Structure 1
C-alpha cells in the first residue's frame, strides 16, 4: 500500500482533492490531503510571516503525525509543487515518488515568483487590504481564500536534486485559457528521459477535468 500526500495549489484547501482521495482509497491506498497554513479553512492562521518554509513544515508535521509509511507519493498541484519539493528534500528516505500536477518544479534558490509568467506575477501583486494576502481568482471555488504572498516570494533551499527519487511525473494541463504559468516548469522536464511527462486534456484543475487519466497516472506512479 502507498500513502499519497496531496498538496493543493494557491488559495485552495484539501477539499479540492475530495473525489480523487476517495478514488485512491477505493484502490486500497492511504491518502493524506492537507490544507496549508493561512489558506481556506485555515485562513484564520494567516499573517505576514506565513511563507514557503511554513508550508513545508506543515506537511512534514502532518506526515510525521499521520503516517509512518516509508512509501510516500507526494502530489503537488500548481504552487503545491514548491511544497512537495521542499518536503521531499527534507525526508528523502521516506519519499518514493513525486507527481507534479500542473505544478512548479523549482531548483535550489528559486521562488514561485521567478518560475511563473508576468500575468501570474501581476495577480500576486493584487494583494488584499491586509497587504499580504493574494485574493482568489473570481472563478475559484467559493471555499477558496487569499493566499500568503510571502510563500510566492520566498526562495526554496534544497540540499539535493530530484533525481535521487525513484520516479518523478509531470502532468501538464493542455487547456489553459492563455499562456500557462506552468509551461516553464513543463519545458524544464519535458525532454528529460528520467521524468515521466503526461499531457492531459483539461484545464488547470485536472482533478475535476480529467479524473480518470489522472488516477491512472497516480496508480502507475505508485508501482515500485
Structure 2
C-alpha cells in the first residue's frame, strides 16, 4: 500500500497477565511512526503500576482502566487489541462502550473471550489454576509471575483479577469487526476452546498463526500486518 493510500487508525493495546504496557510499546511505537494513533494501556497493580497493587484490585478495575484510556483521550473508531488475560479486559470495556460507538473492532491475540459470568479461573484448566494459587505471595493477594516468564520487567498480579466473574450485557455483540488470532504452536494452550467456539460464529473472523503464545517476540511482523488489515476493514467496511 502506498503512502497516499495508508489508512490511519486508532489502536489501544492491552497486555496479558504479569505484563505492563511496556510489552506492547514496540508495536505501539511502530504504529505511531506510520501515522497511526496507538497507545498501550497500563493496568492497575501490574507492570508500571505494580506499586498500586492491593487486595481491592480486580477485573473491574482493569476494565475501568481501559475505558478511561478511551474516554479521557476522547478516542473514537478504536481498534481494541488484547493478549491473553487482556481478552477479559477488552471484553468488559467493549461491553461498557459499545453503545457509545467508540470501539469499532476487537482483536484477541491468543486471548480469553469470556461470556457473561465467566472468569479466568473458570475458563482455565486445573494446571493453570494450580499455578495461580501457587504464586500467591506473602501478602495473600498477589500472584507471582510463573517461572517461565523470564523477562525482568514482569511483575506480580492481583489474584482477584483472575477470580472475578465478568458481568456482560451482550452490548459488545454490536461491534461489527471481531477477530480472534489463535497461536497453533502454543503447547498446552488453553485457548483452543475459543478458536473452536468462535469459528462457528459467522460474526467472527478467526485466524491461525504457527507461533507460540509470546506473540511480541515470536511474530511481531505478522501481528503488525494483521492489525493493519483490520484497520483497513474498519475503514472500508
Shift of 1:190: 2.2
For 1:123 and 1:160, how far apart are their aligned partners in 2? 31
Q: 2:134 matched to 1:131?
A: no
The number of aligned residues is: 222
Name the counterpart of 2:56.
Answer: 49
Name the counterpart of 2:14.
Answer: 7
Give yes or no for contact 1:201–1:210 (8 Å, CA) kept in 2: no
Moved more, 80-89 or 179-188: 179-188
Say what the alpha-carbon RMSD is for the aligned residues.
Answer: 1.3
Moved more, 101-110 or 129-138: 129-138
For 1:57 and 1:209, how far apart are their aligned partners in 2? 30
Shift of 1:65: 2.1
Name the counterpart of 1:200.
Answer: 209
Give yes or no for contact 1:115–1:184 (8 Å, CA) kept in 2: no
What is the 5 A alignment of 1:87-166? 87-92=93-98, 93-126=101-134, 127-140=136-149, 141-166=151-176
The 3-state SS of whatever aligns with 2:32 is helix
**Match for residue 76 of structure 2 among 50, 64, 70:** 70
| TM-score, with structure 1 as normaliser | 0.95
Consecutive unaligned residues in structure 1, runs of 5 or more: none
Once the two structures are superposed, residues 183-205 of structure 1 have per-residue CA deviations (whole angstroms, 9 ceiling, x without a partner) of: 22222212322211111121111
**Match for residue 42 of structure 2 among 31, 35, 39:** 35
Give yes or no for contact 1:116–1:184 (8 Å, CA) kept in 2: no
For 2:139 and 2:85, how far apart are their aligned partners in 1? 21
Of the two, which has the highest radius of gyration?
2
Give yes or no for contact 1:37–1:54 (8 Å, CA) kept in 2: yes
Once the two structures are superposed, residues 163-215 of structure 1 have per-residue CA deviations (whole angstroms, 9 ceiling, x without a partner) of: 311110111112223x2122222222123222111111211111211112111
The 4+ residue runs of structure 1 with deviation greater than 6 A are: none
The 3-state SS of whatever aligns with 1:222 is helix
| TM-score, with structure 2 as normaliser | 0.90
Give yes or no for contact 1:115–1:185 (8 Å, CA) kept in 2: no
For 1:51 and 1:136, how far apart are their aligned partners in 2? 17
For 1:181 and 1:125, how far apart are their aligned partners in 2? 17
Once the two structures are superposed, residues 108-158 of structure 1 have per-residue CA deviations (whole angstroms, 9 ceiling, x without a partner) of: 111111112111111111111111111112232110111111011111111
For 1:153 and 1:185, how far apart are their aligned partners in 2? 19
Q: 2:25 matched to 1:18?
A: yes
Name the counterpart of 2:193.
Answer: 184
Give yes or no for contact 2:21–2:48 (8 Å, CA) kept in 1: no
Shift of 1:162: 3.8
Give yes or no for contact 2:109–2:181 (8 Å, CA) kept in 1: yes
